[in-house]
Amino acid sequence: SLRALDIDYDMSRLAKYTDLAVLDAHLSSASYINGAEPAQADISVFQVIAPPGAAHPNAARWYSHVASFSKSRVASLPGDFEALNPVGVTPPPPQAACEPCAIPAEPA
């Protein structure tokens, strides 16, 4: 469906920001992932990256700011939270469907 494609696109779009160089470059001209206002997209990325060091000053500033948000502030942010894979972690392959377990017959 078209909605499923939109979700895949959004996840791919957000996943690229788990690369600190990409995130830092983006934040050189934007305050947050989606522009001027914080959103759930920021929380999605924040939760899977390590604190950026001095090599990524824009990302470090953003990280420090997002880390200061209260739980109620995070809950009130617009947009949808996207569960991303932590940096450096490859998602497991899909599991094959499990065949129904054979239940042994009762002894006669």
Angle (CA) 58 90 22, round 5°: 20
pLDDT at 78 (0 to 100): 96
**Residue 101 forms part of a structural domain:** no
**Residue 12 forms part of a structural domain:** yes
**Residue 32 forms part of a structural domain:** yes
**Residue 108 forms part of a structural domain:** no
**Residue 88 forms part of a structural domain:** no
Residue 16's nearest CA partner among 44, 38, 36 is: 44
The C-alpha atoms of residue 14 and residue 65 are separated, in whole angstroms, by 19
pLDDT at 84 (0 to 100): 85
Query: HSE of 54 in the Cβ direction (CA atoms, 13 Å)?
Result: 0
**Residue 6 forms part of a structural domain:** yes
**Residue 42 forms part of a structural domain:** yes
pLDDT, one tens digit for every residue, the chain (108 residues): 444 444 444 446 788 999 999 999 999 999 999 999 999 999 999 999 999 999 999 999 999 999 999 999 999 999 999 888 776 555 455 555 555 555 666 666
pLDDT at 83 (0 to 100): 86
How many domains, in total, are found in the chain? Answer: 1
User: What DSSP line would sit under the chain, residue for residue?
Assistant: -HHHHHHHHHHHHHHGGGSHHHHHHHTTS-SBTTBSS--HHHHHHHTTSPPP-TT-HHHHHHHHHHHT--HHHHHH-SS-----PPTT-PPPPPPPPPPPPPPPPPP-
Domain hosting 53: range is 2-76
pLDDT at 8 (0 to 100): 42
**Residue 33 forms part of a structural domain:** yes
